[in-house]
């Protein structure tokens, strides 16, 4: 072969020349910064999304109404939440598909319709609770809800559809960090730590309607059906595979424990500040009082900021996530960049949820905190549907291969599902027949 006329790409020669200077013949791994940080995420974010308006209201009520008595629930529920979230994350990593996808592909149309309907109702309920949270937060600033809620709904709709929501999202996320203040507040309130410690490990139970109601609200706000869908989708989105799954598992568990820690401190601080004086949480002002040890007179402002941020965040993300799940399961065009003509189901679901959520939240004289609790109860009631689907999928060897549940794990998961189902049924029975008291 003749010498090439132009010194075009005679890479071999060049390599030889430069070899002396800097080329290493071995393949150098170029390290990517933040690979670890990038993968640490879905579990943490999802678990803490649980501490939204409904979550704050629920745990504040728990502390105010029952003092430390219900603290013991937090440990088993942390374990249950961890197990459920971990299963969903694992399914995402192993199959690379969302929960809605899997339900559709394995169980067919009828099951999909049932699960999607319950998801729509549950998420619709939570969306209402987020707008209620917005209403409560802005009313603390003296802005009436019939002004703030429609404004919030329109701006959320606009931001999401115009695709700029992500940038605003961070602001809301930062605002919701205020709730970390409950941790400080709990310490400043000087609770009786001895009692706290004792109540954590001493289970109590009652067939009292209000007790069951609160119990179910805790379950509903902690293990919400959307969280499983959410964590699985984000694991898929992040491109986590079966091989790099262990990191995600750590992330899920750390996130779960962290989220429940915050819940714990909310209960402790409200118990120490409100229950002590027999104050019940009926409004956002009451819930804000638990921050007084930290912020004094500014407690309300601080609480309002946190509540507003958390609620705005979830009021955008939840309807969007629901619209994604439903379009995904039914196989329709999805994505906020589509027009109404291209993706009617996707944008329709999103718009519907935002509109209904806002519409219910502006109803005058709505007992805000009560509504928040009721939506969490609805969540708890619908949870078994999702849990059964998850359990069937995770133990499907054809789907999960070697990644099916272990025996002990299955025991925990089934126990959670059965207990939640039993609790839901018991609550329905007691609601329908108030006179009936099994004890």
What residues line the site for other proteins (CB under 8 A)? Answer: 3, 5-15, 17-18, 22-30, 32, 41-42, 45, 95-97, 101, 104-105, 108-110, 113, 163, 165-166, 230, 233-234, 236-239, 241, 317, 320-321, 324, 330-333, 335-337, 345, 398
Is-contact 424 381, C-beta < 8 A? yes
Find the shortest distance in angstroms from Cβ 416 to other proteins: 24
Number of neighbours of residue 6 by Cβ within 10 angstroms: 6
Find the shortest distance in angstroms from Cβ 92 to other proteins: 10
Residue with Cβ nearer other proteins (254 or 330): 330
Find the shortest distance in angstroms from Cβ 326 to other proteins: 12
Residue with Cβ nearer other proteins (17 or 209): 17
User: For residue 204, what are the contacts with CB-CB under 8 A and spacing of at least 6?
Assistant: 69, 70, 72
Is-contact 130 119, C-beta < 8 A? no
Residue with Cβ nearer other proteins (86 or 300): 86
Residue with Cβ nearer other proteins (95 or 224): 95
Angle 425-314-104 from CA coordinates, rounded to 5°: 60
Find the shortest distance in angstroms from Cβ 246 to other proteins: 15
Find the shortest distance in angstroms from Cβ 391 to other proteins: 20
Residue with Cβ nearer other proteins (23 or 411): 23
Residue with Cβ nearer other proteins (101 or 199): 101
With 0-12 / 13-18 / 19 or more C-beta atoms within 10 angstroms meaning exposed / middle / buried, residue 270 is buried
CA torsion sign for 287, 421, 93, 348 is negative
**Phi, psi of 36, deg, nearest 5:** -70, -50
CA torsion sign for 314, 315, 317, 323 is positive
Q: How far from 367 is each of 1, 6, 375, CA to CA, in Å?
A: 88, 82, 12
Is-contact 127 112, C-beta < 8 A? no
Find the shortest distance in angstroms from Cβ 311 to other proteins: 18
DSSP state of 283: S
Give dist(CA 71, CA 240) in Å, integer: 35
Rg of the chain taking only CA atoms, in angstroms: 25
Is-contact 260 77, C-beta < 8 A? yes
Closest of 239, 259, 255 to residue 38, by C-alpha: 239
DSSP state of 6: S
User: For residue 279, what are the contacts with CB-CB under 8 A and spacing of at least 6?
Assistant: 64, 286, 289
Residue with Cβ nearer other proteins (14 or 280): 14
Find the shortest distance in angstroms from Cβ 85 to other proteins: 14
Residue with Cβ nearer other proteins (113 or 415): 113
Find the shortest distance in angstroms from Cβ 227 to other proteins: 11
Find the shortest distance in angstroms from Cβ 93 to other proteins: 9
Residue with Cβ nearer other proteins (250 or 337): 337
């Amino acid at each position: 072969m003749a010498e090439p006329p132009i010194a075009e790409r005679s890479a071999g020669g060049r390599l030889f020349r430069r070899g002396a200077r800097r080329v290493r013949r071995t393949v150098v791994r170029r390290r990517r910064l933040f690979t670890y940080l990038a993968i640490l995420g879905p579990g943490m974010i999802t678990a803490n999304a649980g501490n939204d308006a409904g979550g704050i209201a629920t745990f504040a009520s728990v502390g105010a109404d029952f003092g430390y008595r219900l603290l013991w629930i937090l440990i088993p529920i942390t374990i249950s939440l961890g197990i459920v979230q971990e299963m969903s994350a694992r399914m995402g990593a192993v199959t690379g598909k969302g929960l809605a996808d899997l339900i559709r592909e394995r169980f067919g149309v009828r099951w999909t319709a049932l699960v999607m309907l319950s998801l729509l109702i549950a998420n619709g309920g939570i969306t209402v609770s987020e707008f209620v949270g917005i209403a409560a937060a802005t009313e603390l600033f003296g802005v009436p809800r019939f002004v703030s809620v429609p404004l919030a709904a329109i701006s959320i709709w606009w931001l999401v559809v115009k695709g700029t929501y992500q940038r605003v999202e961070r602001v809301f996320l930062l605002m919701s960090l205020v709730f970390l203040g409950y941790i400080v507040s709990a310490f400043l309130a000087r609770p009786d730590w001895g009692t706290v410690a004792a109540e954590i490990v001493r289970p109590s139970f009652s067939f009292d309607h209000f007790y069951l109601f609160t119990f179910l609200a805790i379950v509903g706000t902690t293990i919400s059906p959307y969280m499983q869908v959410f964590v699985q989708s984000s694991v898929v989105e992040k491109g986590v595979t079966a091989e790099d799954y262990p990191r995600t598992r750590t992330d899920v568990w750390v996130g779960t424990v962290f989220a429940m820690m915050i819940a714990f401190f909310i209960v402790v601080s409200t118990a120490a500040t409100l229950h002590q004086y027999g104050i019940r949480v009926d409004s956002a002002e009451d819930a804000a009082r638990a921050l007084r040890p930290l912020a004094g007179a500014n407690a309300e402002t601080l609480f309002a900021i946190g509540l507003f941020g958390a609620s705005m965040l979830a009021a955008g993300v939840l309807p969007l996530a629901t619209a994604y799940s439903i379009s995904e399961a039914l196989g329709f065009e999805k994505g906020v960049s589509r027009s109404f003509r291209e993706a009617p189901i996707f944008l329709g679901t999103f718009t519907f949820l935002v509109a209904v959520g806002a519409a219910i939240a502006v109803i005058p004289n709505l007992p805000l905190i009560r509504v928040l609790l009721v939506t969490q109860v609805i969540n708890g009631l619908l949870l078994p549907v999702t849990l059964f689907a998850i359990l069937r999928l995770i133990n499907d060897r054809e789907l999960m291969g070697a990644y099916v549940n272990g025996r002990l794990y299955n025991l925990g998961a089934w126990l959670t599902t059965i207990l939640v189902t039993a609790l839901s049924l018991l609550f329905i029975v007691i609601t329908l027949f108030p006179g009936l008291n099994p004890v």
